[in-house]
Amino acid sequence: MDRRDIIEKIKALKKEKNAVILAHIYQRPEIYDVADFIGDSYGLSKKATETDADIIVFCGVDFMAESAYILNPEKTVLIPTRLANCPMAAMVDVDGLRKIKAKHPEAAVVSYVNTTAAVKAESDICCTSANAVKVVNSLEEDEVIFVPDSNLAHYVMRNTAKKIIPWSGWCYVHQKFSPEGILRAKEIHLDAKVLVHPECISAVVDLADEVFSTTGMVNYVRQSPDKTFIIATEIGVVERLRLEFPEKVFFQAPPGGTCLQMKKITLPLVLDSLKNEQFTVKVPEDIRVRAKKALDRMLDVA
Ligand code: 13P
Ligand code: SF4
């Protein structure tokens, strides 16, 4: 079956089964062709609460599909492969979180959405890279345990008076961007604006013209009079920007980065997922209810 046939079959099945495809911006560009919505983690969580579809096929990683189910337990939530797992989300577990909570009983717990449902259930509120500062500043507590991304935690520290207690997680894709790489790119592309994701290390954030979530980058480029951009995040954003703004020029900051887990999802797997209604994403009900509170609170604040 060629690519066009697969796309047509996916579209027909979506109609027949009243299904919607939500895709993260880091997905392969061919997934965009069948997606009903493409966005960042925040936009995808929000969209999941707004759809009236019976089935959500989630083209992203595990924690994103889990969040869609947590918010919509009455819907069937599918992920096309069980191998699309975010390694950073696995860097914090409930036992570890409980230990740090016991050490800081006065602190609120903010969990980045890149966490398991069980960790969300242990948290006061969730955040995404689009709203982390706003979420932290909305809290009454002066101390905040922030899990799992230490780089995002340090970015929040720059923008809050609260005491942040960071967990030591990191994203292997964003950790690799270096200040040397950004400086080298700036020397070559003199007029370029540097856009950085807050999962990058602080020394890279220091060199940014702007710091944004993935969708934040797309929105910024849309309204910017600038023509050339150096992008420090996963390659999917660069691919998306090139498709959407062909009149502008985008360079990925060296050494570049690809999220292998995001790229596990392919068009044939999306077709199988819709056809066979696989692989179902569910969360035990007691955990789901508590995790939903943390997600709902984020959606209210943001
Ligand atoms: P965004 O929320 O910016 O889309 O980021 C999600 C993610 O996993 C970044 O690595
Ligand atoms: Fe996880 Fe990093 Fe991939 Fe985002 S880019 S899904 S944080 S491994």
Alpha carbon of 89 to ligand 2 centroid (Å) = 8
Q: What is the pLDDT of residues 285-299, one digit of tens each?
A: 999 999 999 999 999
Asked if residue 64 has its Cβ within 6 Å of ligand 2, the reply is no
Compute, in angstroms, the gap from residue 195 CA to the centroid of ligand 2: 17
**Centroid of chain to Cα 261:** 12
Q: Is the CB of 129 under 6 A from ligand 1?
A: yes
CA of 199 to the centre of ligand 2 (A): 9
pLDDT the model gives residue 42: 87
pLDDT at 302: 86
- Ligand closest to the CA atom of residue 41: 1
Q: Which domains does the chain have, with CATH numbers?
A: 3-85+262-282 (3.40.50.10800), 89-170+289-301 (3.40.50.10800), 177-252 (3.40.50.10800)
Pick out the chain residues at pLDDT < 50.
none
The residue nearest atom 7 of ligand 2, judged by CA position, is: 171
Q: Is residue 81 lining ligand 1, measured as CB closer than 6 Å?
A: no
| Residue with CA closest to ligand 2 atom 8 | 86
